[in-house]
Amino acid sequence: LTILGLESSCDDTAAAVVRQTAGDAAAILSSVVVGQVDLHAGFGGVVPEIAARAHAEKIDLCVEQALQKAALTLTDIDAIAVTSGPGLIGGVLSGVMCAKGLSAGSGKPLIGVNHLAGHALTPRLTDEAAFPYLMLLVSGGHCQFLIAKGVDDFTRLGGTIDDAPGEAFDKTAKLLGLPQPGGPAVEAEAHKGDAKRFPLPRPLLDRPGCDMSFSGLKTALLRTRDKLVAEHGGLRQQDRADLCASFQTAVSDVLAEKTRRALTLYQELNPAQPTLAVAGGVAANQQLRAVLETVCADNNTSFTAPPLALCTDNAAMIAWAGLEQFRAGHRDDLTLSARPRWPLDRTSPAMLGSGK
Ligand code: ATP
Ligand code: FE
């Protein structure tokens, strides 16, 4: 099977071709990502209208390049997969309209893919992770523990009750005068800093279950920054690095502890040897990857994390999720619509009992 994937749900326009022949590992034949960081610089975040316009302008080119790099034409493709939600509606629409046009013109089947399923199934593209596995999806807009049981079958165990960690990284960068996207910028600063200098909060660790909160962390950081600025008439280089290190460690600590709890909960429901997979943009963070690896080693659990380029938004993950869902019989037609909201899980946490 050879699938063309399109992604345009946030601020990356992307197209990719993924192929899997029966019995073989999947191959990414091409993966083109055109970012929009420059367009949104100065606005302090992604501006939906600017993003939508840029996606509409770039998506055709991305598709053309992805096919060219894979040395294929549309006739060689078995189906077209496109992110049809969740995300910024204007951007999602650009991708969906383009995919519909390609499908109508070529007669190739169309598959609307949930962007989060793209992230959550990536460990099966890069590491052939077998179902079921425990997924920590940690990105710019989401943070949740899921039991991945099938290509379209996810159960949520818990997650953030407010901000996503990626959002917290981006806001931290903004507060400290660092460029967007905040994750890589804060991570680079954190390397030079002392993580023990500022005692930032670890919210909800005193509560049972694997729900998390990251908005208080941001407020504490803002207060600490303002105090430092008032004391020294500005933010000194070392203060900034120490704040980044303290922030990153607070996020990693919370995610590590909640992962321990999610593993316990998971093992109560699944007696088999567990695998933890992490995915989403924040999974590119080296400190987070290292602490999760330690948690897994301590709990006799295998650990898998995609290569960095497949953690942040890309279309290879959409093509792959499309491939898996196509194989499972999933098809859409030209009535496919864009869904700004589209939760991945189907089971409400209530069905799992109160958790631990
Ligand atoms: P979602 O997938 O929830 O819809 P999104 O698609 O906007 O949101 P992703 O592209 O999956 O998010 O991830 C982007 C986020 O990941 C940004 O918030 C970015 O700051 C963060 N990020 C990227 N690299 C790193 C890193 N090395 N460390 C921490 N955070 C990172
Ligand atoms: Fe994403």
Query: What ipTM is given for this predicted complex?
Result: 0.99
The per-residue pLDDT for 270 is: 86
The per-residue pLDDT for 23 is: 83
Contact predicate 125/320, CB 8 Å: yes
Kindly state if the Cβ of 140 falls inside 6 Å of ligand 1: yes
CA of 140 to the centre of ligand 1 (A): 4
In DSSP notation, 183-218 reads HHHHHHHHTTS-TTSS----TTTTSSSS-B--HHHH
The model's pTM is: 0.96
Known binding-site residue numbers: 115, 119, 137-141, 170, 183, 187, 285, 313
Least distant ligand from the CA of 278: 1
The per-residue pLDDT for 346 is: 61
Q: In the 8-state DSSP scheme, what is residue 308?
A: G
- Can you read off the two tokens belonging to residue 235? 């933010």
Kindly state if the Cβ of 85 falls inside 6 Å of ligand 1: no
Distance CA 156, CA 73 (A): 39
- Can you read off the two tokens belonging to residue 169? 């990284």
Kindly state if the Cβ of 10 falls inside 6 Å of ligand 1: yes
Distance CA 25, CA 208 (A): 40
Least distant ligand from the CA of 287: 1
Angle subtended by helix axes 316-327 and 115-126, to nearest 10: 90
Mean pLDDT of successive 10-residue stretches along the chain, which has 356 residues: 98 98 93 95 89 96 98 98 97 98 98 98 96 97 96 95 97 96 97 98 93 95 98 97 98 98 93 93 98 97 98 98 97 97 69 38
Nearest-atom index, ligand 1, CA of 46: 7
